[in-house]
Amino acid sequence: MVGKKIVGVVAAVAALVVVPAQAAEQRGGARAERAAPKSPSADEVLDPKHIDQEITLSEDAQRVLQWVSASGDNGDLPYMVIDKKAGRLFLFDAEGKAVGDAPALIGIATGDDSSPGVGSKKLSQLGPAEKTTPAGRFLAKFGHAAGNQQVLWVDYATSVALHAVVTGNKRERRLERLASPSPEDKRITYGCINVPVDFYEDTVSSLFKKHGGIVYVLPDTKALEEVFPRVQLLPYL
């Protein structure tokens, strides 16, 4: 039977609401491309008064949260779950308390593995299929990227980091993508994870700055059990 702590974690996350998106960015290879959707106007969708829909956790997200809570897999570190299919990030402190959630931009290509050698390539050398956000469990820590910017390195070897949203290319309309309810609109990066500036600076940084934390990236093509084998040891809610 699933313990009360597990149910509490899932219930706490399900009650969270969308965090308003803003602007700016960083990283030593920020992954950008594809023409952005023509939907809603930035002035409207980025106004916090218009962002009030409730968030529903996917079954995969619930199962991973159950496993982490029951197993203590995060140890004494804060952690986050990134649901690529939903284009959303859920953040927890070391005790499993829900701290917040936010929309997240991810790699433009579907796929759960990084191509061999992708971390040593220039962005201009990446093929369409190489622009993926890999799935798995990662020990993430802050470090420097190009331009001496501080980013949260999720997987340093493949140059995948989490950082504030990049807004240099206006055609990509990343702020509108963050505010869009469509998961498809979240696919725009070269593989890095972009989140709203305030959420990155005030929430992620405060939790992960000192010792780092665990990042669980859910798959979008593989079965959940293939990426997180121990999840199948727990019963469904």
User: Domain boundaries in the chain?
Assistant: 4-233
What is the per-residue pLDDT for 6? 40
pTM: 0.75
Distance of alpha carbon 101 from alpha carbon 204, whole angstroms: 10
| CATH number of the 4-233 domain | 2.40.440.10
> How high is the mean pLDDT in each 10-residue block of the chain (237 residues)?
43 38 34 36 34 69 94 96 96 94 93 63 50 92 84 88 92 95 93 94 95 97 95 72
Q: What is the pLDDT of residues 13-36, one digit of tens each?
A: 444 433 332 222 333 443 333 333
What is the per-residue pLDDT for 43? 38
What is the per-residue pLDDT for 17? 33
What is the per-residue pLDDT for 146? 73
Q: What are the angstrom distances between the C-alpha of 61 and each of 87, 88, 108, 195?
A: 12, 10, 21, 18
